[in-house]
Amino acid sequence: MNRFEDKIAIVTGAASGIGRATADRLRSEGGTVVGIDRDPVDDVDMAIQLDLLDLGAIAPTVAQIVDAYGRIDVLCNVAGIGHFARDEDETPEAWNRVIGVNLTGTYFMSQACLPHLLESQGNIVNTASTAGTNAQAWSSAYSASKGGVIALTQTMAITNGRSGIRVNCIAPGGVETPIGEQFTPPEDVDLTLMAGMLPYHRPAQPPELASAFAFLASDDASYCNGIVLRVDGGTMA
């Protein structure tokens, strides 16, 4: 398949896990990929180190990409951080960091790319989570950020859909990536509350998510707009 030939795709979170695999997949299908991450990104056509909490740097970064390539066809917002806390112990700093990367970063990357996507009739694929569609204990900030990603996906899809662009999101279940280390349960909690979060069968490997990103980002998904594609191996079925 060469679904991304002549397409310029931005993938955030491209240094690791699902973003890394998505960048690989889009490139393997002929795409030119710009990988953005706070960590160095390898094996992309253009690598940009950017902390998405630095909101003022987002628009200049997107301008730099348009200067280099002249267009943007696909934005995959994959960067994210995990976080568990007892509600009694949550801090404003941690709350703002999780919402800042997962939700605010996703929104302002989308805003900066929007005029270019309107021009190319391109699309956005965001990263939610089953934590945004179903309950996940000890993760008020993370779940709120992912529920917010679903709401902004649907809102931007409807606001901009008649102008010819699509905005969708993927809700992964458990995927074997380094983010798992950021989901250590707090001490002395009722571990039976974990039951609903455990993968039904097995955790996914990142390429099993990358194929879903590639589908939604491609013309194969031309009639998908505003959808939440749950890719969780049946966990929430």
Ligand X SMILES: NC(=O)c1ccc[n+]([C@@H]2O[C@H](COP(=O)([O-])OP(=O)(O)OC[C@H]3O[C@@H](n4cnc5c(N)ncnc54)[C@H](O)[C@@H]3O)[C@@H](O)[C@H]2O)c1
107 is catalytic: no
Q: Are 229 and 209 in contact (CB under 8 A)?
A: no
Please list every residue from 26 through 65 that binds ligand X, using CB under 6 A.
Answer: 37-39, 50-53
What the block records as the tokens of 204 is 């996914």
Q: Where does residue 85 rank: exposed (0-12), middle (13-18), buried (19+ CB within 10 A)?
A: middle
Closest to ligand X by CB, 148 or 174: 174
Q: In terms of CB distance, is 11 or 120 closer to ligand X?
A: 11
How near is the Cβ of 50 to ligand X at its closest, in Å? 6
State the number of binding residues for ligand X (CB under 6 A): 27
Binding status of residue 225 toward ligand X by CB under 6 A: no
Binding mask 179-208 for ligand X (x = CB under 6 A): x-----------------------------
Structure token digits, residue 203 = 């955790």
User: Is residue 229 a contact residue for ligand X (CB under 6 A)?
Assistant: no
Interface positions, 114-133, toward ligand X (CB under 6 A) = 127, 129
Give the contacts of 119 (CB within 8 A, at least 6 positions apart): 71
Is residue 124 helix, strand or coil?
Answer: strand
> What's the one-letter identity of residue 127?
T
CA-wise closest residue to 112 among 87, 86, 77: 77
Q: Are 79 and 39 in contact (CB under 8 A)?
A: no
| Distance between CA atoms of residues 10 and 220, nearest Å | 19
Chain positions 130 to 189 lying near ligand X, rule: CB under 6 A, are 172, 174-175, 177-179
Half-sphere exposure of 47 (CA within 13 A, CB side): 14
Task: Note whether 13 binds ligand X by CB under 6 A.
Answer: yes
Q: For ligand X, which stretch binds (CB under 6 A), given 16-24, 55-63, 112-120, 210-218? A: 16-24
Query: Would you say 35 or 122 has its CB closer to ligand X?
Result: 35
Q: How is the beta sheet containing 123-127 ordered, strand by strand?
A: 46-49, 32-37, 8-12, 74-77, 123-127, 166-172, 228-231
Kindly indicate which of the ranges 10-18, 85-93, 188-196, 217-225 contains the residues binding ligand X, using the contact rule CB under 6 A: 10-18
Shortest Cβ 172–ligand X spacing (Å): 4
* Candidate list 107, 142, 200, 223, residue with the active-site label: 142
| Site string (65-104) toward ligand X, x via CB under 6 A | -------------xxxx-------------------xx--
Other beta carbons within 10 Å of 76 = 31
Asked if residue 82 lies in contact with residue 182, where contact means CB atoms within 8 angstroms, the answer is yes
For ligand X, which is the closer residue by CB, 74 or 79? 79
Residue numbers of the site for ligand X (CB under 6 A)? Answer: 13, 15-19, 37-39, 50-53, 78-81, 101-102, 127, 129, 172, 174-175, 177-179
Please give the positions annotated as active site.
Answer: 142
